[in-house]
């Protein structure tokens, strides 16, 4: 486009000139070389901002003076972790346009600069992505994997939960639901609210999932349950409990059972929820099932609920170590009336 004077619209004989001027950025003065044009017709001096933006240069000086991030650094950081502008903006709680302007030279707010710097630490970025519910689950996993290459912020155990178990396809062994870590964890916290023995906890989870499947044709957590000698137990339950203890969501105490009838003393683990269960992730019907199972077995000890579970069709008809199909629910003795028209 042909350059013309903004005052008189003259485009003939414009003279290019430059000199050093003081420019003020956030109350501080910076000397910047300004290139401008002079109109021979009216005498106006003007800057062609499409070619040269003296403010950009003043901002650069300001950033350097205040050790703030440069636009190239922000862009390089974002690209390193394969984030789009919209994604990084949403993870940080910034507007998409704001981040875009920072990457193209606008001077960032002090607080946004601090925020971006914090996010540039892989462990922090990892937590921010993990906590972001604006991202679709599959995309979040992909981004987390990219960050994890740069940090040891995730234990192999946690990675396994997120990437290994969560990708299992729904089928008759998951109760036709994709395994959902947050559902499983919050069911555990609900049952462990007042303390629960590990063996009993495993049975409570089994009964809640299977009962819900019987009445609504879908499980609550999507967990698979294996037939083990003490009854049905959810897949990798020991790892989950250990992770929750490590995260301080559960506390654990060892309890002693004095041997009776000459038998040996037995120790067991008792879990107590250290954080409240988030009920809001369950539907009304799911929550009702969980509370029903908890109430039903309230006075059952670990031994009694184990015996009870040993008589269930799913347990009887499944080989040792095998997954129990959710289709086996005909023997569940937990009678209850499901309100008509209630959805899953
Ligand atoms: Zn002019």
285-313 confidence digits (pLDDT tens): 999 999 999 999 999 988 889 888 988 98
pTM over 0.95: no
Kindly give the distance from the C-alpha atom of residue 34 to the centroid of ligand 1, in angstroms, as a whole number.
Answer: 19
Q: Is pLDDT above 90 for 69?
A: yes
Within 13 A of 87's CA, how many CA atoms are on the CB side?
20
pLDDT digits (tens, 9 = 90+) for 18-31: 999 999 999 999 99
Cross-strand pairs, 106:
none
In this structure, whether the domain defined by 71-154 belongs to CATH 1.10.260 is answered with yes
The average pLDDT across 210-233 equals 93
Residue 294's pLDDT is what? 96
Delimit the CATH 1.10.260 region(s) of the chain: 71-154
The pLDDT-based confidence of 50 (bands split at 50, 70, 90) is: confident
**CA of 52 relative to ligand 1 center, distance in Å:** 19
Going from the Cα of 49 to the center of ligand 1, the distance in angstroms, rounded, reads 16
Residues with CB under 5 A from ligand 1 (ion): 5, 7-8, 10, 39, 41-42, 44
Q: Ligand 1 centroid to 120 CA: how many Å? A: 48
User: In a 3-state reduction of DSSP, which class is residue 250?
Assistant: strand
* Cα–Cα distance, 144 to 156 (Å, whole number): 13
pLDDT of 15 above 90 = yes
| 296 C-alpha to ligand 1 centroid (Å) | 89
Burial (0-12, 13-18, 19+ Cβ within 10 Å), 273: buried
With cut-offs at 50, 70 and 90, classify the pLDDT of residue 343: low
Distance 209 CA to ligand 1 centre (A): 80
Q: Can you list the positions of beta strands (E) in 168-239?
A: 196-197, 225-228, 231-234
Is the confidence at residue 63, as pLDDT, over 70?
Answer: yes
Taking the centre of ligand 1 as the mean of its atom positions, its distance from the CA of residue 22, in whole angstroms, is 24
Token pair 């008809």 is at which residue? 317
CA of 45 from ligand 1 middle (Å) equals 8
110-126 average pLDDT score: 90
Q: Which helix or strand (DSSP H or E) is residue 270 part of? A: strand 266-273
- Cα-to-centroid distance, 12 and ligand 1 (Å): 9
The pLDDT, as a whole number, for residue 71 is 96
Distance 46 CA to ligand 1 centre (A): 9
The pLDDT confidence band at residue 271, using thresholds 50, 70 and 90, is very high
Q: Which two tokens stand for residue 2?
A: 């042909």
Work out the average pLDDT over 190-214: 95
CA of 35 to the centre of ligand 1 (A): 17
Distance of CA 328 from the midpoint of ligand 1 (Å): 88
What confidence category does residue 337 fall into, taking pLDDT thresholds of 50, 70 and 90? low
What spacing in Å lies between the alpha carbon of 6 and ligand 1's midpoint? 7
Compute the chain's Rg from CA coordinates. Answer: 31
Task: Please give the Cα distance from 96 to 103 (Å, whole number).
Answer: 11
């Amino acid at each position: 486009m042909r350059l013309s004077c903004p005052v008189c619209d003259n485009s003939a004989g414009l003279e290019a000139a430059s000199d050093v001027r003081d420019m003020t950025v956030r109350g501080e003065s910076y000397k910047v070389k300004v290139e401008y044009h002079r109109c021979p017709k009216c005498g106006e001096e003007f800057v062609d901002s499409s070619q040269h933006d003296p403010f950009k240069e003043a901002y650069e000086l300001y950033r350097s003076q205040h050790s703030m991030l440069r636009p190239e650094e922000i862009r390089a950081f974002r690209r390193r972790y394969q984030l789009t502008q919209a994604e990084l903006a949403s993870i940080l709680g910034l507007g998409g346009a704001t981040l875009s302007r920072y990457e193209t030279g606008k001077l960032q707010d002090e607080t946004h600069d601090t925020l971006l710097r914090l996010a540039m630490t892989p462990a922090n970025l990892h937590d921010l992505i993990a906590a972001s519910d604006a991202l679709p689950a599959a995309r979040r996993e992909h981004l987390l994997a990219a960050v994890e290459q740069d940090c040891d912020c995730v234990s192999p155990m946690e990675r396994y939960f997120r990437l290994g178990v969560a990708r299992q396809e729904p089928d008759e062994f998951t109760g036709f639901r994709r395994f959902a870590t947050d559902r499983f964890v919050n069911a555990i916290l609900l049952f462990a609210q007042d303390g629960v023995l590990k063996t009993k906890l495993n049975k409570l989870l089994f009964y809640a999932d299977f009962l819900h499947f019987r009445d609504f044709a879908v499980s609550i957590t999507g967990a698979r349950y294996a037939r083990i000698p003490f009854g049905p137990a959810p897949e990798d339950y020991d790892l989950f409990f250990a992770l929750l203890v490590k995260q301080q969501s559960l506390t654990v105490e060892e309890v002693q059972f004095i041997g009776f009838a000459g038998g040996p003393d037995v120790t067991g683990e008792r879990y107590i929820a250290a954080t409240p269960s988030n009920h809001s992730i369950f539907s009304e019907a799911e929550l009702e099932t969980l509370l029903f199972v908890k109430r039903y077995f309230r006075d059952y000890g670990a031994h009694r609920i184990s015996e009870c579970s040993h008589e269930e069709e799913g347990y009887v008809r499944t080989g040792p170590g095998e997954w129990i199909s959710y289709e086996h629910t005909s023997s569940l003795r937990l009678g209850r009336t499901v309100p008509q028209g209630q959805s899953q």
